[in-house]
Amino acid sequence: MAVRQPRDVVIATYLDADPFARYWPDQPSFIPLWALMAVCLEVEHPPGGVIMARWSDRASIDDVLGLVKAETRRVWPVVAHATAGQGTRWLRRFAKLGTAARTVVDGLVIADFRAERP
């Protein structure tokens, strides 16, 4: 991720939110949740930083990609804790958008967006 450039966007899935945030330099906040869950903290990134994807189903992927600005050059989805099917779903969605998506390292995908998107 050290090769990120202006107009690159990082998307972290809900399952990757906590481990990713602990190493991300932009100092996200960890907000306590009052729910009976294994991890009782929600990660909140500063505005303009990482976009959080709640789930990895088709509708959630479309929702989060809808938040990506038109001038975005590359998208870096962090899908380390996704199942094989969820990771494939992300790659298929990028292919439908006309991107050249590839797995950089296990759990990290990069998608190069064209200037005009469908």
Q: Residues 1, 76: contact at Cβ < 8 Å?
A: yes
Q: Where are the alpha helices (DSSP H) in the chain?
A: 17-23, 58-66, 84-96
Give per-residue pLDDT as tens, 64-89: 888 888 888 888 888 777 777 888 88
User: Would you identify the CATH topology of the domain 8-16+51-112?
Assistant: Translation Initiation Factor IF3 (3.30.110)
Confidence label for 3 from pLDDT (cuts 50, 70 and 90):
confident
pTM reported for the whole predicted model: 0.72
Using the structure block, give the residue that is written with the tokens 């494939």: 88
Summarised one tens digit per residue, pLDDT across range 9-60 is: 888 887 777 777 877 777 778 777 766 666 667 777 767 778 888 778 888 8
Domain ranges within the chain, ordered by starting residue: 8-16+51-112
